[in-house]
Amino acid sequence: MFDMGFAEMLVIGIVALLVIGPERLPAVAKKAGSYIARIRRFVANVKSDVEREFRTDELQQMLRQQQDELKSLKDIVNETRHDVDLESLQRSIKEPEKDDSKKDESVQQNVSLTEK
């Protein structure tokens, strides 16, 4: 959190010992430690909240992109469906089969007539 070396901490300890006194120094150090711990927890919570928000924004952006891609794919499918009418395609496939069966019947009739 703070970039302090051993020398800076030693100077602060000596000044605190002279100003506060040896009787109250342990209680003040304990209180200062608890405040520092609270501050560190608060900073860690804020940091995690900010990171979570960034992840949420990224996920929302990815979701929007995927929805846009899905919409474009649906549009392509609808255009293709419109261009190729499936019912007419199925009819065109079934009609030659019917025509072939009619041709077979007519050929059989012709053969039977020629045999007579």
Q: Look at residue 96 and tell me if it is in a domain.
A: yes
Q: Look at residue 25 and tell me if it is in a domain.
A: yes
As a whole number of angstroms, the distance between CA 17 and CA 11 comes to 10
Give the Å distances, CA to CA, from 35 to 38, 39, 41: 5, 6, 10
Count of structural domains within the chain: 1
As a whole number of angstroms, the distance between CA 65 and CA 60 comes to 9
Q: Look at residue 1 and tell me if it is in a domain.
A: no
Tens place of pLDDT for every residue, the chain, 116 residues? 467 788 888 898 899 888 988 899 899 989 989 999 999 999 999 999 999 888 888 888 899 999 999 999 998 888 887 777 666 666 777 765 555 555 556 556 655 555 55
Residue 109 has a pLDDT of: 60
- In sequence order, the 6+-apart residues with CB closer than 8 A to the CB of 29 are 16
Angle between helices 6-20 and 25-83 (to 10 degrees): 130
Q: Look at residue 58 and tell me if it is in a domain.
A: yes
Q: Look at residue 41 and tell me if it is in a domain.
A: yes
Q: Look at residue 24 and tell me if it is in a domain.
A: yes
Residue 22 has a pLDDT of: 87
- In sequence order, the 6+-apart residues with CB closer than 8 A to the CB of 17 are 25
Domain that holds residue 16: 6-111
Residue 48 has a pLDDT of: 93
Amino acid occupying residue 15 = V
Residue 1 has a pLDDT of: 47
Residue 53 has a pLDDT of: 87
Q: Look at residue 116 and tell me if it is in a domain.
A: no
Say which residue the tokens 């199925």 belong to.
90
Residue 105 has a pLDDT of: 61
